[in-house]
């Protein structure tokens, strides 16, 4: 009987292999959202698709790996080499796959594209575990301990891979480069394992195909690395591009239309003229009216900085504005290409955490994070609004911008926002950005006191313009949004798909493919 490899040279190489492949699984899963998000957004549906596909692929890998392990003494290197090549070509296939799945819409499109792009490599990595168990088991009596040890080491590898990617690697290197680097690393690991199999298992059958796969990977690497080029044309010009922890931030010019856009993934969060830099977003013009609504507004907090136009508008009224933004790349783009100059404290971080650290009171708080395809729903709950209420002066105003459909006043998402605000603030008024359009920006003003737009003592700069946009919201169709239960993302799925289609039609689908 041939001796087990575990009795010849120990299990160290096997543990090292499952550790590294376990880390690779989590790297692919986490990076998957960064490859999909610029096209479909980083919504709950994208995360759900990726997690589901990962579990499906690993389940198939466990099953097929067990069958292969029972029928062959060697082949672990071939499995890893195949996983490496499939991982390496993911960035290469991303564009064609995303374009092909685009007609299926947000939910089905994100699931199918995720399934095509990531399940092959994840399935091959899932096959490593059962094969390693077979190699590490010298007797039936030891199968439990061997199985437990292999999967424990693999899980530790997944933990280390997650921490290394999130805390160190991803902030320094782009997602495409990490995918390609991981693919090459797996191919090199496969060759090392093939050498071990040849030496100790006397197996030469897998050396040739493993070598071929590695050569194919190294041969394709230059083409994959150069497969994405920044587009410059008479129609679109990409002026700024930065992949951050939270999204793919770009500044895109449309010279013929004299428009400069600030985008984060598939969301437009700022727009200005190229020639003069004036703000082109209509809803933000209402901000210019706010200083007339309450006396002695001196200090404001803006959550969701965008291109910084609202800060500049408030500055003209003598209002100092602290800004709170989760993505530093957006602040960098606003500074360089939209002439944004901070007037107050600039805070980088997640709003729910950072607002707990703030002290003092604000005369005005603007919550402007519900504009794009993906919405941070945790910022629009009773608990989140109560935190903001605690930062607001008695005479202050909370302003919230929300993009949705009017639907003749029967939109459940719009009604839910109004109903939730009413749980925290006794008074609110709602304005529509562009009367006559169903898809719109809706601006909520929530206060502790009544604002009477008919009060002649209020020196509006454009009284009629503001009153024409006043709305009455029927909250019958709405639900109260809480940290425990918020269905806002579900209520806004039609809005997300419509918004994304508008942006794609305006800029072109290729601008959202990494």
Q: What is the CATH number of the domain that holds 217?
A: 1.20.1250
Q: What percent of the chain has pLDDT over 70?
A: 91
* Residue corresponding to tokens 């911008």: 401
Which pair of structure tokens corresponds to residue 329? 């790349």
Tell me, yes or no, whether 203 and 74 share the same domain: yes
Q: Structural domain tally of the chain?
A: 2
Q: Which two tokens stand for residue 429?
A: 């008024």
pLDDT 10s digits, 342-352: 898 988 888 88
For residues 203 and 291, membership in a common domain is answered with no
Is the pLDDT score of 55 beyond 90? yes
Which residue did the predictor score with more confidence, 70 or 514?
70
Name the average pLDDT for the chain: 85
Confidence of residue 234 (pLDDT cuts 50, 70, 90): low
In terms of domains, do 219 and 341 share one? no
**Cα torsion through 28, 30, 31, 37, rounded to 10:** 130
- pLDDT band of residue 115 (cuts 50, 70, 90) is very high
Say if 237 falls within a structural domain.
Answer: no
- Mark whether 311 and 191 lie in a shared domain: no
Residue 121 pLDDT: 96
The answer to whether the CB of 441 falls within 8 A of the CB of 401 is: yes
Q: Rounded distance, CA 16 to CA 265, Å?
A: 37
Domain that residue 152 falls in = 5-225
Q: At what angle do helices 12-40 and 90-101 cross, to 10 degrees?
A: 40
> How confident is the model at residue 232, as a pLDDT?
46
220, 286: one domain: no
pLDDT of 381 over the 70 cut: yes
Phi-psi region of 329 (alpha: psi -120 to 50; beta: other; left: phi over 0): alpha
Mean pLDDT over residues 326-338, rounded?
87
Instruction: Calculate mean pLDDT across residues 461-488.
Output: 84
Q: How far is 488 from 146, CA to CA, in rounded Å?
A: 47
**Is residue 405 in a domain?**
yes
Q: Is residue 271 part of a domain?
A: no
Lowest mean pLDDT among 71-80, 175-184, 377-386, 473-482: 71-80
**Domain membership flag for residue 129:** yes
Instruction: Confirm whether 230 is domain-assigned.
Output: no
Q: Does the pLDDT value for residue 74 go beyond 90? A: no
Does the residue 502 lie in any domain?
no
Q: Which helix (H) or strand (E) holds 196?
A: helix 175-200
- Do residues 186 and 316 both lie within one domain? no
Q: Answer with the residue of higher pLDDT: 385 or 226.
A: 385
Give the confidence band of 202 by pLDDT, cuts at 50, 70, 90: low
Q: Label residue 7 by pLDDT band (50, 70, 90).
A: very low
Boundary (domain end) residue, out of 184, 201, 225: 225
Record the tokens describing residue 347, joined without a space.
């805070």
Picking from 209, 225, 241, the residue at the C-terminal end of a domain is 225
| pLDDT reading at 132 higher than 50 | yes
**More confident of the two residues 118 and 200:** 118
Residue 289 lies in a domain: yes
pLDDT for res 52: 94
Half-sphere exposure for 251 (CA within 13 Å, toward CB): 20
pLDDT of residue 327: 83
**Distance from C-alpha of 502 to C-alpha of 488, rounded to nearest angstrom:** 21
Contact by Cβ (8 Å): 123, 58: yes
Cα separation of 203 and 199, whole Å?
A: 8
């Amino acid at each position: 009987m041939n001796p087990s490899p575990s009795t010849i040279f120990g299990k160290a190489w096997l543990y090292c292999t499952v550790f590294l492949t376990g880390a690779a699984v989590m790297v692919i899963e986490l990076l998957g959202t960064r490859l999909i998000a610029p096209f479909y957004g980083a919504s709950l549906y994208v995360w759900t698709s990726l997690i589901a596909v990962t579990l499906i692929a690993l389940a198939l890998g466990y099953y097929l790996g067990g069958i292969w392990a029972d029928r062959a003494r060697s082949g672990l290197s071939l499995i890893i080499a195949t996983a490496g090549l499939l991982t390496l070509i993911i960035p290469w296939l991303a564009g064609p796959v995303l374009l092909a799945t685009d007609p299926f819409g947000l939910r089905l499109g994100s699931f199918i594209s995720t399934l095509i792009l990531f399940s092959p490599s994840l399935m091959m990595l899932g096959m490593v575990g059962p094969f390693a168990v077979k190699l590490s088991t010298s007797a039936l009596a030891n199968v439990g301990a061997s199985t437990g040890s292999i999967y424990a080491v693999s899980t530790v590898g997944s933990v280390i891979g997650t921490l290394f990617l999130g805390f160190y690697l991803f902030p320094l290197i782009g997602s495409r480069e990490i995918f390609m680097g991981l693919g090459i690393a797996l191919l090199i690991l496969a060759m090392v394992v093939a050498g071990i199999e040849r030496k100790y298992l006397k197996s030469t059958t897998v050396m040739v195909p493993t070598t071929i796969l590695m050569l194919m990977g190294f041969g394709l690497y230059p083409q994959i690395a150069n497969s994405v080029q920044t587009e410059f044309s008479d129609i679109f010009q990409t002026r700024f591009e930065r992949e951050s922890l939270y999204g793919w931030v770009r500044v895109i010019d449309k010279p013929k239309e004299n428009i400069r856009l600030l985008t984060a993934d598939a969301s437009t969060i700022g727009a200005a003229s190229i020639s003069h830099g004036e703000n082109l977003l209509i809803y933000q013009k209402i901000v210019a009216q706010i200083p007339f609504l309450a006396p002695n507004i001196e200090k404001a907090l803006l959550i969701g900085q965008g291109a910084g136009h609202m800060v500049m508008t408030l500055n003209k009224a003598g209002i100092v504005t602290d800004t709170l933004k989760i993505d530093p790349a957006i602040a960098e783009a606003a500074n360089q290409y939209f002439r944004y100059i901070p007037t107050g404290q600039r805070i980088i971080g997640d709003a729910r955490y950072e607002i707990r650290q703030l002290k003092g009171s604000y005369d005005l708080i603007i919550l402007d994070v519900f504009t794009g395809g993906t919405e941070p729903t945790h910022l629009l709950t009773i608990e989140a609004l109560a935190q903001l209420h605690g930062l607001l002066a008695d005479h202050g105003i909370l302003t919230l911008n929300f993009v949705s459909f009017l639907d003749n006043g029967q939109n459940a998402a719009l009604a839910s926002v109004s109903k939730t605000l009413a749980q925290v603030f006794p008074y609110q008024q709602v304005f529509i950005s562009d009367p006559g359009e169903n898809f719109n920006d809706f601006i909520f003003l929530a206060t502790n006191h009544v604002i009477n737009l008919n009060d002649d003592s209020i020196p509006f700069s454009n009284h009629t313009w503001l009153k024409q946009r006043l709305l009455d919201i029927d909250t019958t169709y709405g639900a109260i949004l809480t940290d425990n239960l918020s269905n806002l993302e579900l209520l806004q799925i039609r809005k997300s798909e419509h918004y994304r289609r508008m942006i794609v039609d305006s800029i072109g689908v290729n601008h959202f493919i990494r």
